[in-house]
Structure 1
């Protein structure tokens, strides 16, 4: 058999010869879905002009440039989020996505708002992971008035304008953590609560869901007042040592934000005979080692790559829909890990 012709390719793709010519020549409008079908057929039949087709399909993809502003003092967490977003952008086949990623390592709202406004003229939309603050809200409203969409990542943000959200149901995360203590503690007692910072709305909702479960289903437990680690391992270690010293009858610790490394270090150094139930967030090297050596009982984790993929889709949809987008939310199921399934 001779090499496949344009007519053979048209037949394999289920389109006309004229459509094949438009795809190859780059002239005229061809639906993106049709172009991909032609490309797949060319690969199957071994069409001689495969390289040219691949070039045409790649050149025809819509191009978007999105800004990403990540405010998190936890470098390991920020790195995972940024890496996942970059992988999502590179693997997105329907459009060409360019990302400008800005990592902010403190909790200053001035930095977040100024960075969002600074990059706004260079991008088609912004994804932001930030703590709630009037300056951040004002920046979102100003960008929205200019027609620039904003997607809140992992921690929801309030604003007068429409803000999309991609992340977990934080209230359910908190209730799931509470369920773990209720079922794993051999007897009721005191539970210490360490939060990253209440300035992240997701941290506030973790605690709200956590407390609601105990009020409803396990009132015999005593929940200590939450203490902020400010996402710092050093501060978290000191706070954990204080909890262990001042509450010898402590049954468990819930770490609903950054600082888990400091908590685990304090527990390991303490050499306590009693076995504490400890629940933390996000499967990374630190938490994985805690699960493996038994210092950490359970981890509730963001499925980072799934969230990143959803964020890219949300940005594209928001850019195309404009003000018609509404308050779009992509709530992703969270993952639960113990030493037995990592």
Structure 2
């Protein structure tokens, strides 16, 4: 309940005596429940968890013993009758809700039915708490990264001319799941040749060819936590331009990582990366250098030239510089980083040096 205690402290500061949480990741973070289709009401007088019959048994096992698990009243999911019950039981007068998450139809129902309760939209309150990871979260992320490293190592022998991007993805995903991944962080992306200029391109049945860049972007999901890593290889004969760009991005990533420690502006790593990239390539550099990672694949803080965040101990985030030249190709190197007491720890251990296969 330590996470809920942190939220209650913020609620007290904002003179809020109830908080309706609808975001799946935030419900999981606060309750421990790993399913979906559930809402959580938090108050100083107790916590009520609403779900349906599919998840009642699971919720009773996973949620903290001090959280009351209740099926939606009359089996009507997200119905105002259930919220009225919670508001009355917990004596709530000012009910906060996640303004950026709640559907308008749900808000309208609440507004119409809870006419004696003041509804207060709040955004990013729980997300701010989640930026600082606890020991359990850090351990899950380390395991997710370790699984990802091993899966990529096992996939390397299959990177050869003639195999398709989709066949390679099938092999990588098999290696992820057979080595402990409980799911995928996101749709696995493997691109080759000129398609590597597409930051989030769609893999297909294109066959790998001699001289291709081959870009991997993937991650293992473990206990709800997402690894996120990218590596780029060169298949067969590498030309001087490919080698030059790879060496630039390899150095740029490390300069961005070495800038990380508690208390810095999240603009600084981007500045360090830009100092490495030659002027002739700077227009091909994507300025979103990195992001927080945890229960969601993209979280705060953001690393960019206009970021408003500062780093703190036990934040986990990615550093992923890339150069993408339309019609020619691109490359990215990405790692998940933990901010430590006075420095950083790279959670991915897979080598970053140029690898020609």
TM-score range, shorter chain: under 0.3
- If the length of structure 1 is used for normalisation, what is the TM-score? 0.26
Is the radius of gyration larger for structure 1 or structure 2?
A: 1
- If the length of structure 2 is used for normalisation, what is the TM-score? 0.25
